[in-house]
Amino acid sequence: MLEARDLKKQFLSGESVFVLFEHLDFAAKAGEMVVITGRSGSGKSTLLYQLGLLDTPNDGVVSVDGIPASSLAHNARTDLRLERFGYVFQDYGLMPEMTALDNVLVPLIMRGESYPRAEAAARAALVRVGLGDRLSSKPARLSGGQQQRVSIARAIAHEPPYILADEPTANLDSASARQVLDMFSEIHRGGATIIMVTHEKESLALADRVLELRDGALLAVGTETHPPAVPSSLREGGAYGL
């Protein structure tokens, strides 16, 4: 289970302190797909970074499968990210000098896989996302949708229990976005826990649970048994931005 308790994140803005959220609790059960939505600047991506151990909260605890991550040393946090998480970034986060295959290979090598095994796993992950014919292509030679699929391949290649996705379809055209969401759907069916931050309405239908981050609080929008309602931030007239 990925859990956050009493989370607080604040920023300094000149002399003043801006509290993004405080006393925030979150929990994602194994195999659950949670979509977090909210207005631009509401702090949803910031919350995702706290949950993914990419940033440190000002207060509160993030636990990964019972391990309190906040108290871990730098290397232990890095190792935990490597073992338990797969990340999909809004703008893909690929190494421009590496091929699609190499981008997927890097975390596998860090995990201690032998090169042939790592390469086989990376190749398989790229085949799964439909890029078996673009293994040697560098990111600059791939479309946005293809780059995001490489990013997904990198996130799933080591079969982590948690996939964190930050606006994975925001930079994509609707066809590519549909493909990417289908992939998340399949990954979810495979049993991975997915936490996705998005402002795309299409993503909501995939979620087991939709949470809206509003005024520093997480509000449940739908239930597991009923299709999620459109949160206030996604209703017509809502203001979003990237």
Using CB under 8 A, list all residues that contact other proteins.
49, 52, 54-55, 74-75, 78-79, 81-83, 85, 87, 89, 93-98, 102, 105-113, 117-118, 120-121, 123-125, 127-130, 132, 138, 154, 157-159, 182-183, 186
Cα of 55 vs its chain's centroid, Å: 14
Distances (CA, A) of 7 to 25, 45, 148: 6, 14, 30
Of 75, 82, 127, nearest in space to 101 by CA:
127
Contact 53, 84 (CB under 8 A): no
Closest CB 229 distance from other proteins, rounded Å: 29
The nearer residue to other proteins, 19 or 242, going by C-beta atoms, is: 242
Closest CB 3 distance from other proteins, rounded Å: 20
Task: Convert 181-210 to b/e letters by CB count within 10 Å (16 or more is b).
Answer: bebbeebbeeebbbbbbbbbeebbebbbbb
Closest CB 130 distance from other proteins, rounded Å: 5
Closest CB 34 distance from other proteins, rounded Å: 20
The amino acid at 117: R
Q: Which residues, at least 6 apart from 167, have a Cβ–Cβ distance to it below 8 Å?
A: 45, 90, 197, 198, 199, 200, 242
Is 216 strand, coil or helix? coil
Closest CB 39 distance from other proteins, rounded Å: 18
The nearer residue to other proteins, 152 or 211, going by C-beta atoms, is: 152
The nearer residue to other proteins, 145 or 231, going by C-beta atoms, is: 145
Closest CB 128 distance from other proteins, rounded Å: 5
The nearer residue to other proteins, 76 or 220, going by C-beta atoms, is: 76
Closest CB 207 distance from other proteins, rounded Å: 19
User: How far apart are alpha carbons 230 and 36 in whole angstroms?
Assistant: 12
The nearer residue to other proteins, 25 or 186, going by C-beta atoms, is: 186
The nearer residue to other proteins, 26 or 184, going by C-beta atoms, is: 184
The nearer residue to other proteins, 124 or 217, going by C-beta atoms, is: 124
Q: Which residues, at least 6 apart from 222, have a Cβ–Cβ distance to it below 8 Å?
A: 204, 207, 209, 210, 228, 229
Q: Which residues, at least 6 apart from 210, have a Cβ–Cβ distance to it below 8 Å?
A: 34, 35, 36, 37, 204, 220, 221, 222, 228, 229, 231
